Structure 1
Amino acid sequence: MPRSLDGLVLAPVADQAPGQVGTRTRFTYHEKGGEIWAEYAGGDVVRGHLVGTRAGDRLDFRYVQLKHDGTTSSGHCVSTVVELPDGRLRLEETWEWESQSGSGTSVVEQVTEHDS
């Protein structure tokens, strides 16, 4: 059984394009009965939320966020949960904006207490 994401804090390993999530963004995940959700903020993002489902090591969710310039945006993401050799979790993500053009891949990893 894959490890739960519940209560974990994850952060991107690299910055995306300006105005999007970046290394200063923190995602706090929750998980219960196949449902996943998270709140996130940091960098250019004032507040963001994601909600979706988990089946094994696959997450499928939609996200919406508010940026410091007052604009909002939303999209869809499918992620694969990977356990790193040191025991932390990584999400390998493929995402696509739905409110604007653009798509890509990204990686977020579990943050340890001294990293946050």
Structure 2
Amino acid sequence: MARSLDGLVLSPVADQAPGQVGTRTRFTYHEHDGRIWAEYEGGDVIRGHLVGTREGDRLDFRYVQLKTDGGTSSGHCVSTVVELDDGRLRLEESWEWESQEGSGTSVVEQPPS
């Protein structure tokens, strides 16, 4: 199992569609006893929260966010934690909106130091 996410800041490696998270979004993760949660903001997202569980290198969580246009959205995501060759962590994600149509994949990772 990869190391803990607690206290790590991760960001997407590519922009998604408008109104979603993008390269300017920053996620601050927390982890304790198999529970994970994070706050995120930046780009088109004013404030977002996610909460879920971790079992091994698999995360399963729900997210909700407030966008700059005043709209809200929510969904479900399953991620795999991957440790990169340089020691940084990456999350390879499969997500699906629950408040609207749509699904996809994304990657967030620790920025290089």
**TM-score with structure 1 setting the length:** 0.95
Aligned to 2:5: 5
Does residue 35 (structure 1) correspond to residue 56 (structure 2)? The answer is no
Q: Give, in angstroms, the shift of residue 110 of structure 1.
A: 0.9
Aligned to 2:45: 45
**Partners of 1:30 and 1:86 in 2: how far apart?**
22
**Partners of 2:112 and 2:17 in 1: how far apart?**
25
Q: Secondary structure at the match of 1:75?
A: strand
Does residue 84 (structure 1) correspond to residue 89 (structure 2)? The answer is no
Q: What is the one-letter code of the residue matched to 1:24?
A: R
Aligned to 2:110: 110
Aligned to 1:60: 60
**1:81-102 per-position Cα deviation (integer Å, ceiling 9, x unaligned):** 0000000000000000000000
**Number of aligned residue pairs:** 113
Aligned to 2:23: 23
**Partners of 1:96 and 1:2 in 2: how far apart?**
25
Aligned to 2:71: 71
**Partners of 2:5 and 2:112 in 1: how far apart?**
14
Q: What is the one-letter code of the residue matched to 1:17?
A: A
**Partners of 1:98 and 1:2 in 2: how far apart?**
29
Identity of aligned residues (%): 86
Q: Give, in angstroms, the shift of residue 5 of structure 1.
A: 0.1
Task: Could you tell me which runs of 5 or more consecutive residues in structure 2 were left unpaired when the two chains were aligned.
Answer: none
Q: Give, in angstroms, the shift of residue 7 of structure 1.
A: 0.1
**Partners of 1:30 and 1:90 in 2: how far apart?**
15
Q: What is the one-letter code of the residue matched to 1:10?
A: L
Q: Give, in angstroms, the shift of residue 112 of structure 1.
A: 4.2
**Partners of 2:27 and 2:111 in 1: how far apart?**
10
The RMSD of aligned alpha carbons is: 0.8
**TM-score with structure 2 setting the length:** 0.98
